[in-house]
Amino acid sequence: MDQRGRPRFWVSPKAYFVGQIAPDSITFGGDRGEQVEADIEAFAAALGKASRASANTVEGYRRDLIAFRNFLLERPGAKGTGDEHIDTATINADHIRAYLAMLMKTAKRATVQRRLSAIKAFFRYREAATGAPSPARAIRSPKSERRLPKILSAPDVERLIETDERPESKATLRDRAILETLYSSGLRVSELVSLDWRDIDEELGMLRVRAGKGNKDRIVPVGEPALDALRAWRSAMPPAAEARRAVITNLRGARLTTRSVEKIVARRLELAGRGGQITPHGLRHCFATHMLSNGADLRSIQEMLGHASLATTQRYTHVSVSHLREVYKRAHPRA
């Protein structure tokens, strides 16, 4: 509870939201899986109203919690024993551990961590609303895998951008604008597709990212080659697109989805002979690593990437150190 007696609901160890839940809206309990699902929907609604969490974050929490609820209904021994009538109040630590053990057999650790984070947030919300202790409190998250992001060298990125099948086609002009902007500004794909033309200040050479991860706005620089590519695409784009004001559209003028952009970038990677080496998100990693290698400081990179924690940005120092080590081994006669 805060000083005003309002419940405080933690979303993660790094961020929380404070909200007032009306007593009659707290519906935890019941004896069927449907009631647990209703509790999850109440949590998602409260998260969306009382926090800075984006719609994607809220939907991710809801989806992960529904997966946990489905596991409780489908786990061995549940059917025919009466256990299918699950109750939020009777879920205990053993249920959660069994779910995590099942996930660890096939899922990546990052997935397990995300699912557990959703479960912990849900039960912290319930604890604040009803006073019932969280069964997930003492469960530790599995350690993260120390995997360095895969990147391309600067010449490889240049070749990727310059590889065109039909240089003057509208699709090629758009695809080049996509690649240039992703690499120039380190945007997430979801942030790129949300861009409107009003968000680009050509005179200052800056982009405004609206409601990025964590539902935060930020300003990032954009290079002249990317601006040139954007100008070329704007002059060639369908008239219908101008009315909608979206920067990245299909050839009919409708805003592209993140999945469509990912497919475009993946196809260009294949065309450049780099398919499978990095993901479309890897251009963001290339941006950060190349900036760091050329003298940019971590704090500036953190701000441009929109990272909440400097620790997230610091992994790029490991990439730079690994690169230096490889250069040293290849070049020094007594390495």
For residue 271, the domain's CATH number is 1.10.443.10
264 and 297 in a single domain? The answer is yes
Q: What is the number of H-type helices and E-type strands within the chain?
A: 14, 5
With contact defined as beta carbons under 8 Å apart, do 43 and 17 qualify? Answer: no
- Per-residue tokens: 262: 């990912």
158, 112: one domain: no
Asked if the structure places residue 148 within a domain, the reply is no
- pLDDT at site 18: 33
What is residue 334's predicted lDDT score, i.e. its pLDDT?
A: 66
Q: What is the pLDDT of residue 202?
A: 93
Domain membership flag for residue 217 = yes
Residue 50's nearest CA partner among 1, 2, 7 is: 7
Same domain membership, residue 106 and residue 17: yes
> Are residues 94 and 206 located together in one domain of the fold?
no
- pLDDT tens digits, 2-52: 344 433 333 333 333 333 333 333 344 444 557 888 889 988 888 877 666
Do 118 and 164 sit in the same domain of this protein?
A: no
Same domain as 310, residue 182: yes
Contact 28, 7 (CB under 8 A): no
What value does the mean pLDDT take over residues 124-152?
A: 83
Residue 306 lies in a domain: yes
Q: Are residues 288 and 183 in the same domain?
A: yes
Say which residues have a Cβ less than 8 Å from residue 16's Cβ, sequence separation at least 6.
8, 9, 10, 51
List, in order, residues 6 or more apart from 36 with CB less than 8 Å away: 30, 69, 72, 86, 87, 88, 91
Are residue 52 and residue 178 in the same domain, yes or no? no
Q: What is the pLDDT of residue 244?
A: 62
pLDDT at residue 316 is higher than 80? no
Say if residue 327 is in the same domain as residue 205: yes
Nearest to 233 by CA among 188, 189, 176: 176
Q: Which long-range contacts (CB under 8 A, 24 or more apart) does 231-236 make?
A: 231/202, 232/173, 232/176, 232/177, 233/173, 233/174, 233/176, 233/177, 234/197, 236/170, 236/173, 236/174
State which residues form the domain around 101: 8-130
209 and 106 fall within a common domain: no
259 is a domain residue: yes
CA distances from 211 to 32, 166, 188, 274, 311 (A): 37, 35, 12, 31, 22
What does the block give as tokens for 46?
């409260």
pTM summary value: 0.61
Task: Quote the percentage of the chain above a pLDDT of 90.
Answer: 35
Q: What is the mean pLDDT of the chain?
A: 80
- Give the confidence band of 215 by pLDDT, cuts at 50, 70, 90: low
Q: What's residue 237's pLDDT? A: 83
Residue whose pair of structure tokens reads 């010449």 in the numeric block: 155
Number of domains in the chain: 2
Q: Is residue 284 part of a domain?
A: yes
The answer to the question of residue 222 being in a domain is: yes
Q: What is the pLDDT of residue 214?
A: 62
Residues identified as active-site: 188, 213, 281, 284, 307, 316
Whether residues 33 and 170 fall in one domain: no
Biggest CA-to-CA distance, the chain: 75
272 with 166, same domain? Answer: yes
CA-based Rg of the chain, rounded to a whole angstrom? 24
Q: What is the dihedral sign for C-alpha 242, 246, 249, 253?
A: negative
Q: Does 138 fall in a domain?
A: no
User: Look-up: residue for tokens 């968000």?
Assistant: 199
Residues above pLDDT 70, as percent of the chain: 77
Does 118 fall in a domain? yes
pLDDT surpasses 90 at 97: yes
pLDDT at 148: 67
